[in-house]
């Protein structure tokens, strides 16, 4: 009888896994640091690109709202609707109402009718929405005026509340009120100026063409850093942006505007105005391309603007100041191709 034997190979138990050495850990950490350093600028760039796109879309909505307003009201809104715009006393509250801005007037046309109705109710006596008091003169009006409207806020801007503007709803876009203060141009108004009616200019009055005349431009609320720029006559700009409800009135106890050169209500709360001070820069840069136009952008190298035909364009900070000035006048006979800016 023969006997057969099976041979089995016994595998020794697996050895315990060896851990990382200190050198290996340091190498891995260094590699991760390099990757983060390479990816972070790309991520930040992508985020800013998205913010710029959102800002551009805000102006598209504003442009469409203005067009719809014109169709409904047969004219562009004024910068401020003030029943007595000739009253030059900043404390003449009784004779200046409702003081609401173009940005408040177009609310029903940018899907914000509820806020418009609430503000109208707060500014009216009795029934019928008669706009018989200044928007800031009542607690209910001031409360509505503090609401945030997303399409009026450029996401690149910092300072989410309108500090220095009594906490009222921030507005990063200002209407074109012309070049009246700049001596190199004729003293012409823009397309939206203070008026005693809720309509001011018809599109037919814009002789230079709707696609060649600015309607609304950016205005930054980002605090300026001395280490980056000093855009206000060699000092740091402390701009707080605009506010959407309208012009403040110094007579009220609810956060009035400072008394000063402005007439009746403070038009600087909502307007982009002409000026004659070459030390005030238009953008946060070293380009002296403005004459105190009350215009600023947090974006690098320029700003967005919307034309009277509703088209949005990018205006480079390298554009000639004279060219930009002509774009602000609706009937000076000077026209330029916005696509070249």
Domain ranges for the chain, please list them. Answer: 25-340
Band of the pLDDT at 226, cuts 50, 70, 90? low
Give the CA angle between residues 142, 146, 150 to the nearest 5°: 150
Decide if 177 contacts 190 (C-beta within 8 A).
yes
Give the separation between CA 280 and CA 216, rounded to whole angstroms. Answer: 19
Query: In this predicted structure, what is the pLDDT of residue 197?
Result: 86
Q: Which one has a higher pLDDT value, 29 or 105?
A: 105
pLDDT 10s digits, 269-312: 888 876 555 555 556 555 554 555 567 777 877 889 999 999 99
pLDDT of 110 strictly over 50: yes
Cα-trace Rg, the chain: 28
Distance of CA 208 to the CA centre of its chain: 25
Residue 137, C-beta contacts closer than 8 angstroms, at least 6 positions apart:
93, 97, 249, 252, 254
Over the stretch 136-162, which tens digit does the pLDDT of each residue have?
888 888 889 999 999 999 988 876 555
β-bridge partners, 302: 316
Note the pLDDT of residue 66. Answer: 95
Distance CA 179, CA 334 (A): 14
Q: What is the mean pLDDT of the chain?
A: 75
Give the pLDDT mean for 1-18: 52
Question: At residue 82, what are phi and psi to the nearest 5 degrees?
Answer: -135, 120
Across the range 73-96, mean pLDDT stands at 75
CA distance 196 to 124: 16
* Sign of the four-CA dihedral 33, 36, 41, 44: negative
Pairwise pLDDT comparison (179 vs 138), residue with the higher score: 138
Sign of CA dihedral 320, 281, 326, 181: negative
């Amino acid at each position: 009888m023969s006997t057969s034997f099976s041979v089995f190979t016994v595998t020794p138990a697996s050895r315990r896994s060896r851990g990382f050495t200190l050198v290996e850990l340091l190498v891995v950490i260094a590699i991760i640091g390099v990757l983060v350093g390479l990816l972070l600028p790309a991520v930040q760039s992508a985020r800013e690109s998205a913010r710029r796109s959102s800002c551009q879309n805000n102006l598209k909505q504003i442009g469409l709202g203005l067009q719809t307003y014109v169709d409904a009201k047969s004219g562009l809104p004024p910068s401020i609707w003030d029943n007595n715009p000739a009253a030059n006393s900043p404390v003449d509250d009784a004779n200046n109402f409702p003081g609401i801005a173009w940005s408040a007037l177009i609310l029903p046309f940018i899907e914000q009718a509820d806020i418009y109705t609430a503000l109208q109710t707060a500014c009216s006596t009795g029934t019928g929405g008669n706009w018989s008091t200044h928007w800031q003169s009542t607690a209910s009006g001031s409360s509505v005026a503090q609401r945030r409207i997303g399409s009026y806020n450029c996401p690149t801007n910092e300072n989410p509340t309108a500090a220095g503007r009594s906490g009222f709803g921030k507005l990063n876009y200002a209407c074109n009120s012309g070049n009246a203060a700049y001596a190199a141009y004729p003293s012409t108004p823009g397309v939206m100026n203070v008026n005693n009616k809720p309509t001011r200019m018809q599109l037919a009055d814009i002789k230079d063409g709707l696609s060649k005349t600015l309607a609304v431009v950016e205005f930054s609320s980002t605090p300026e850093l001395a280490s980056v720029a000093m855009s206000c006559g060699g000092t740091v700009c402390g701009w707080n942006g605009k506010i959407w409800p309208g012009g403040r009135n110094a007579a009220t106890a609810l956060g009035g505007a400072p008394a000063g050169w402005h007439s009746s209500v403070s038009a600087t709360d909502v307007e982009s105005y002409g000026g004659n001070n070459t030390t005030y820069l238009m953008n946060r840069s070293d380009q002296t391309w403005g004459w105190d136009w009350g215009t600023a952008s947090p974006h690098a190298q320029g700003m967005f603007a919307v034309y009277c035909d509703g088209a949005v364009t990018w205006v480079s900070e390298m554009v000639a100041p004279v060219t930009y000035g002509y774009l602000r006048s609706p009937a000076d006979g000077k026209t330029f191709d916005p696509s070249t800016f």
